[in-house]
Amino acid sequence: MKTMRPFGVALLAAAISAPAIAQEKIQTIYLNPFVGYQYFDDKRDLDEEFTWGAGLEYRFLPQWAVEAVYSRSEPDRKNASGDVDFEEIRVDGLYYFGSQNDKVNPYLAAGIGHADFDGGTVRTPGTEHDETRVNLGGGIRYNLTDMVSLRGDLRAFHGIDESTFDAQVSAGISLAFNRTTGKSEPAPAPAPAREADSDGDGVPDSRDQCPNTVAGAEVDRDGCELDSDGDGVVNRLDECPNTAPGTKVDATGCEVVTIETITLYITFPIESAEIAPEFDDDIRKVADAMKDDEEVSVEIAGHTDSTGSSDFNQKLSERRAQAVADRLVERHAIDRSRVTPVGYGELEPIASNDTADGRNKNRRVEARLQVRR
């Protein structure tokens, strides 16, 4: 016994200080008192006997722990009177299949220890000896609270010196008297609950003034689509994104251009493109409108009635349109690049071709001006 105690103290110290990584992540230290039943190999000539003891367990990682254990028993001899004082100190390694927070914690265990068999009340030569034993087994820890748990354990022991095989079953209560996370980073604070955003534009419903924004559209802080040039047409639909302030725009965000059509009722002789003098005033009106705005262009559209073939009428309408275009350029000094003659033949009548009056109206030239208003 005297030689065993210094060795036991050394084992306890080693159990507490062995894993260097525990300095960083200490999880739980358990005090594990227990009671159990000890079964001895037939070679020992000892009866099964009640046993008791305690362990100091250091769980340095969620799945790993090391434990220093002291146990004691006083088994009777089978074939002789008296009993034997049995003591053991051992160090075990434990592997848990879960973490400390799990209600049920099964584990596997293995270890090595030093046992002392003392002759007890009857001193018989050879009954006092020390022995090195290794063990293998497992058990279950059941957490009642964060600090209190129950533990059941089953072990098989092999005595190396005399090749014996013993067993022990035990149950106990465990107290967790130290729990810390060491240098580990604290768990991040839970993210605040996000407000509802029904249209997914990044602006919560509580302040979204445009709650049905099209998916993917750029929005301002109020959840409304951006209109960078302030023309009333959002960027997503604005084909002219840099419109000057105050400019009247259409649905595409571009400046409104008014098409003003001046109809020239120019009577042409049959099969002729010659312009009569009485139409000079009408042509002058077109020229004046173009001179008022140097950016205005004009399409001179020539038309015919349905008399004659369509091919002939097409060519005749082109000659009539060209005649008016030449008059604008040659007499009124309008740049030819601003004047486009187009013949439409008999395709766009404005009156019935079944009457002479209707055919007369259809033989016309129109000046279509693009004027900014």
Instruction: Answer whether residue 214 is part of any domain.
Output: no
CATH number at residue 335: 3.30.1330.60
The string of pLDDT tens digits covering residues 267-300 is 777 777 888 888 888 899 889 888 888 888 889 9
Q: Which of 132, 155, 179 is the last residue of a domain?
A: 179
Residues 172 and 279 in one domain: no
Instruction: Answer whether residue 111 is part of any domain.
Output: yes
| Cβ contacts of 233 within 8 Å, gap of 6 or more | 227, 249, 251, 252, 253
Q: How many domains does the chain have?
A: 2
Instruction: Answer whether residue 74 is part of any domain.
Output: yes
Contact yes or no for 57/30 (Cβ under 8 A): yes
Instruction: Answer whether residue 65 is part of any domain.
Output: yes
Model confidence, pTM: 0.43
Instruction: Give the pLDDT confidence score for residue 261 in this predicted structure.
Output: 65
Residues 44 and 161 in one domain: yes
Residues 287 and 174 in one domain: no
Instruction: Answer whether residue 310 is part of any domain.
Output: yes
Q: Which of 137, 158, 179 is the last residue of a domain?
A: 179
Instruction: Answer whether residue 85 is part of any domain.
Output: yes
Contact yes or no for 33/57 (Cβ under 8 A): no
Q: Domain range for residue 271?
A: 258-371
Residues 165 and 271 in one domain: no
- Burial of residue 37 (CB within 10 Å: 0-12, 13-18, 19+) is middle
Q: Is the pLDDT of residue 322 over 90?
A: yes
Residues 171 and 265 in one domain: no
The string of pLDDT tens digits covering residues 183-212 is 555 667 777 777 888 788 888 888 888 888
Q: Is the pLDDT of residue 229 over 80?
A: yes
Q: Is the pLDDT of residue 3 over 80?
A: no
